[in-house]
């Protein structure tokens, strides 16, 4: 099979390091021309450094690929149009957008500040909207295009100290689904991927006992590069007919997540009062209530 995204132009945000870098490199290897977007901020969003984006561009060019760097922040809405324009100026079109950029400001909820909340939402959710909206008219006009958005099992399942991140990542799920529904008529697809990968975002896991060290060694096998094949596939025409879905990659495993649908119903022909609800709802629904689990409780086995 020829390169799966040959001739396409892909914009990848947060592509200077980690998962984004792996996606950008594989996109180029598989024939795409790539816009490498990254401001080079720290994990919590502070500072900027053009070096990582330009380094990835140099890596792509060294192997014969085509790429340009963009180092403006996606959290500022006007910059999305600038990034898309840079892609058009360099390559003449855009076919793929990968919304990968993100920051972390983990805080237990009662200590979370407004800036902890708003800065995370600005990069993850507002940035994903702005970039997607900037590409939408192009995709509509050319009657093709693929969006791939990074969500997280922290949002899909749960985690401590991440209400801001969880809200942003669940918002991205809704954004992706909305795009998929609105743009299906234009042959445009939109999907989410929840990645498991050993990056600077999870490098703080403690490893003191031999058992903990062995587990961490296993987790380190979940390299960022293992996320890229699914993302590149979803960007390709081979993924035709797949839209509005939520996937996950964990080392050598690929998951398809279900989506919210009613699972139980309770009916009274004479209507409800708070007292009647109190009499019946726990007995009817208790076995089906979703427990307060974290991602690690659901994915309780080591990666394969």
For residue 304, being part of any structural domain is answered with no
Q: Is the pTM of this model over 0.95?
A: no
Mean pLDDT for each consecutive 10-residue tract of the chain (304 residues)? 89 96 98 96 75 96 97 93 98 98 95 97 97 98 98 95 97 98 98 83 59 68 90 98 97 95 95 96 96 89 77
Q: How many domains does the chain have?
A: 1
For residue 200, being part of any structural domain is answered with yes
Indicate which residue of 91, 139, 165, 219 is catalytic: 165
Place of tokens 């990034």: 83
For residue 267, being part of any structural domain is answered with no
* Residue 255 falls in the annotated catalytic set: no
Domain, as residue range, for 16: 9-259
For residue 125, being part of any structural domain is answered with yes
For residue 50, being part of any structural domain is answered with yes
* CB neighbour class for 240 (10 Å; exposed up to 12, middle 13-18, buried from 19): exposed
What is the CA 244 to chain-centroid distance, rounded?
A: 13
Query: What's the CATH number where 138 sits?
Result: 3.40.50.720
For residue 144, being part of any structural domain is answered with yes
């Amino acid at each position: 099979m020829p390169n799966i995204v040959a001739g396409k132009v892909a914009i990848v945000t947060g592509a200077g390091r980690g998962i984004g870098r792996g996606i950008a490199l594989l996109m180029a290897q598989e024939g795409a021309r790539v816009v490498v977007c990254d401001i080079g901020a720290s994990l919590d969003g502070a500072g900027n450094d053009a070096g990582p984006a330009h380094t990835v561009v140099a890596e792509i060019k060294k192997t014969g690929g085509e790429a340009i760097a963009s180092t403006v922040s996606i959290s500022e809405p006007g910059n999305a149009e600038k990034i898309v324009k840079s892609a058009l100026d360099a390559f003449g079109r855009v076919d793929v957008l990968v919304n990968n950029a993100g920051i972390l400001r983990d805080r237990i909820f009662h200590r979370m500040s407004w800036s902890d909340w708003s800065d995370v939402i600005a990069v993850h959710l507002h940035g994903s909207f702005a970039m997607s909206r900037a590409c939408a008219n192009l995709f509509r006009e050319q009657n093709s295009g693929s969006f791939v958005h990074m969500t997280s099992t922290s949002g899909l399942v749960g985690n401590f100290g991440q209400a801001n991140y969880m809200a942003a990542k669940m918002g991205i799920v809704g954004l992706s689904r909305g795009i998929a529904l609105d743009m299906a008529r234009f042959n445009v697809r939109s999907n989410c991927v929840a990645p498991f990968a050993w990056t600077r975002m999870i490098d703080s896991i403690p490893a003191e006992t031999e058992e903990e060290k062995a587990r961490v060694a296993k987790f380190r096998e979940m390299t960022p590069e293992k996320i890229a094949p699914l993302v590149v596939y979803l960007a390709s025409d081979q993924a035709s007919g797949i839209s509005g879905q939520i996937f996950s990659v964990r080392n050598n495993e690929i998951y398809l997540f279900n989506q919210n649908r009613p699972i139980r119903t309770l009916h009274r022909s004479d209507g409800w009062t708070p007292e009647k609800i109190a009499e019946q709802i726990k007995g009817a629904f208790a076995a089906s209530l979703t427990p307060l689990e974290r991602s690690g409780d659901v994915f309780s086995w080591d990666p394969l």
